[in-house]
Amino acid sequence: MELTATQTTAVQSQTNAFLLGASGSGKTTALQQRVLHLLESGEPAYTILVLVAEPEHKQAYVNAVHQSGLGPYADLNITSYNSMAMNMVNLFWPLVARPVGFTQPYRPPTVLTYDLAQLLMWRVVTPMLDEGAFADLRLRPQQIVSQLLDTLNRAALNSLDLEDALLRQQTTWAGEPERQRHFLDTAVAARTFRRTCLENSLLDLALVIEAFDTQLVQHPVFHNYFRERYRHLIVDNVEEQTPAGQNFIAQLMDEAQTTAIAYDSGGGYKRFMAADPTGARQFHHRCQQYLKFDESFRIPPDMLQIANLVENFLEHTHKPTALADDRILEVVNGRYRREMVFNLVAELRRLVEGGTAPKDIAIITPYLDGALRYMLGQALELAGLPYRLLRRRSSPREEPRIRAWLTWLALAHPEWGYAPTAYDVAEALTLSIRDLDAARAELITRHLYSPENIDFLPIDTLPDKLFPRIGADFLALVERLRNWLFEESDRTGEQIDVFLHALFTQVLAQPEFQPTPDIAGAAVCDWLMQAAERLQQAAPAMGLHTPAEVGIGFIDGIYQGLVTANPPDLGEPPDPNGITISTIYGYLLAGEPVAVQVWLETAATGWWDIPRQPLSNAFVLAQSYDPQQLWTADQDLQIRHELLSRIVRGLVNRCSGGIILANSDLDRRGIRQDGPLWRALQPAL
């Protein structure tokens, strides 16, 4: 590979080097080549640590090593800060458990993944809600749970003591006084959750980071370990690191022989997850070499003029914009979202027929709700265009097959006392038996299912007149499923993951139920089994001691809106060469550069909005925020402008051809759209 002079300097550096440049300027390539250079020079892979901002970024480094032909190098550690913190706290548990405050430091920890932390917080919040906590707060219970966890996590990732973080939210609030009551309820819930974790050796993300940041990184034993293990530290996208992650780098970069740190000058997209791009600039002054990457390998210079348009509008600058309209390839309109989507797909089909590869197109939207996802998928399939979804998180209850599998789980265990609705049972039947339509499923459910007794009657109790209406073949399959659930074995005390595996392999995947391989069903089964296994392992420490408590907790948590960071892939496996569909931040953090971007719903205020989180203000909880300063409407407006400017510049830095603007006159609620991004782009339209 031919490198520029700046890249070569970074690759061969013998000291601490700081690499600064925009996305696409070759920084990551230089770091990957640096890894290869070290390995070729005889450096053991065991001594190299690569910190990436996102777990998904690891694969690019792995691919670079594999394609080099240098060998497998299993000892090469490529990881994110959060993952490393988790591994190190587990490894050095005896050193940190007592100082952090765990009441049974001799007891090995139980790790709470994000879904388990939600379940535990749900158990904390439910009795509080029953007693009137968070009254008048217009949030769903699951949103309350996730924002409480955000407060805990943001405090730890910003190297703030929990009590300081809770107090900071109260003292900086300048809005309606009723919010102070909500902050008091937040403090009660957060303290209860933390106390439960400390008493039961439960490690959530916040405690992992706190233990690593305040105890382990400061410990001489860990310094000795790091010094003897790692000789070369490589950090990509340091602007996406949190203050805790930056503290780790700052503490230990001088223990290594060399350090290479790359900073994306337009990055900092993870500020909602406590990233601190301002604090990351400290490394410029801590490194002996400063390497500026000015050349763009990805985009023509006039592409940046689209970003200039937005900055001129929001920040009243006067940057050049004369060529911006050349890079806006098309404006697709529609009165409603459905019309917009089908007009857009027709345009994309023309693009592909004209020679643009589907993988060189990305559809980017501020929100990707279920209805929009379905419309896009349906339209692209009808047009014969492959696609893939980039989803960072999702709510499993939105997936019908997951609801169906949970319905059978509840029916097979009536002793749990969890009664699915008649609608859930009918939906489960249609998803479990190929070609069984909703009308027949509703007839079966109405006559055979009893929610009061959590019972499903044999088919011979059906009125005779219904047999020809439903069909003998369908009824035979319904009876076979019923027998398996209720008659064939005693399911009392059966592990959830064992039940789900048997349900799928012995019944639902059989050719009579699904004549063709059920790929979506397999993905659902696999995800549910993994989630159930995690809960079963953590259940005793979480206070769930009986199969019924575990089962109800599992089903209830998903139905209450539990969010997962690893959603199952439904339908056919995503086509890696298909059109990318993603939310804004999902694309900026994990998406590949493309030739053509579609900015969907360009006039929606979602491009400019920030998440409504009244219980956890990410900006107030930032370490760099002055706790003496009130959070005002002016600051809120400034942050929105700043984030939109950064988003647009980040997107155009990942687009080599041009932008298609797709817009509907009315949003899903029938309200006319005229958001800041749309207004900012008007001079080019």
- pLDDT at residue 208 greater than cutoff 80: yes
- pLDDT at residue 182 greater than cutoff 70: yes
78 Cβ neighbours under 8 A, 6+ residues apart:
50, 52, 58, 61, 62
613 Cβ neighbours under 8 A, 6+ residues apart:
147, 150
Average confidence (pLDDT) over 528-536: 93
β-strand 579-583 against 594-600: which pairing, if any? Answer: unpaired
List, for residues 105-150, the tens digit of each pLDDT value: 999 999 999 999 999 999 999 999 999 999 888 888 889 999 999 9
What pLDDT band is residue 518 in, cutting at 50, 70 and 90?
confident
What pLDDT band is residue 572 in, cutting at 50, 70 and 90?
low
In CATH, 303-394+573-684 is 3.40.50.300:
yes
What pLDDT band is residue 648 in, cutting at 50, 70 and 90?
very high
- Lowest mean pLDDT across 93-102, 551-560, 621-630, 667-676: 667-676
What pLDDT band is residue 573 in, cutting at 50, 70 and 90?
low
Residue closest to 484 by CA, chosen among 499, 494, 498, 471: 499
316: left (phi over 0), alpha (psi -120 to 50) or beta: left
What pLDDT band is residue 74 in, cutting at 50, 70 and 90?
confident
Average confidence (pLDDT) over 292-319: 90
Q: What are the beta bridge partners of residue 583?
A: 365
Question: Whats the size of the chain, residue-wise?
Answer: 685
- pLDDT at residue 219 greater than cutoff 70: yes
Average confidence (pLDDT) over 507-531: 90
- pLDDT at residue 220 greater than cutoff 90: yes
Please tell me what DSSP assigns to residue 289.
E
CA-to-CA distance for 175 and 179, rounded, in angstroms? 8
Instruction: Encode 455-512 in three state secondary structure.
Output: EECCHHHCCCCHHHHHCHHHHHHHHHHHHHHHCCCCCCCCCHHHHHHHHHHHHHCCCC
622 Cβ neighbours under 8 A, 6+ residues apart:
158, 271, 274, 276
Neighbours of 134 (CB within 10 A): 20
What pLDDT band is residue 399 in, cutting at 50, 70 and 90?
confident
What pLDDT band is residue 431 in, cutting at 50, 70 and 90?
very high
Q: What is the pLDDT of residue 661?
A: 96
Burial class (CB in 10 A: 0-12, 13-18, 19+), 525: buried
The two tokens of residue 63 are 């691919």
Query: Domain 5-87+219-293 has what CATH class?
Result: alpha beta
Helix (H) or strand (E) holding 589: helix 584-590
What pLDDT band is residue 569 in, cutting at 50, 70 and 90?
low
- pLDDT at residue 322 greater than cutoff 70: yes
- pLDDT at residue 357 greater than cutoff 80: yes
CA-to-CA distance for 83 and 453, rounded, in angstroms? 46
- pLDDT at residue 287 greater than cutoff 80: yes
Residue 628: what residue type? Q
Average confidence (pLDDT) over 494-503: 93
Q: What is the pLDDT of residue 370?
A: 78
42: left (phi over 0), alpha (psi -120 to 50) or beta: left
What pLDDT band is residue 570 in, cutting at 50, 70 and 90?
low
Q: What is the mean pLDDT of the chain?
A: 92
Instruction: Encode 51-72 in three state secondary structure.
Output: EECCHHHHHHHHHHHHHHCCCC
Q: What is the pLDDT of residue 590?
A: 85
Provide, rounded to the nearest whole percent, the portion of the chain with pLDDT above 90.
Answer: 76
The residue assigned the tokens 């930056």 is 246
Q: What is the pLDDT of residue 394?
A: 74
What is the C-alpha end-to-end distance of the chain, expressed in Å? 41
CA-to-CA distance for 256 and 16, rounded, in angstroms? 9
No. of H helices and E strands in the chain? 27, 16
β-strand 289-293 against 258-264: which pairing, if any? Answer: unpaired
Average confidence (pLDDT) over 530-543: 93
Q: Are 432 and 481 in contact (CB under 8 A)?
A: yes
What pLDDT band is residue 254 in, cutting at 50, 70 and 90?
confident
681 Cβ neighbours under 8 A, 6+ residues apart:
306, 309, 310, 328, 602, 661
5-87+219-293 and 303-394+573-684 have identical folds: yes
Domain residue ranges in the chain: 5-87+219-293, 110-202, 303-394+573-684, 397-559
- pLDDT at residue 557 greater than cutoff 70: yes
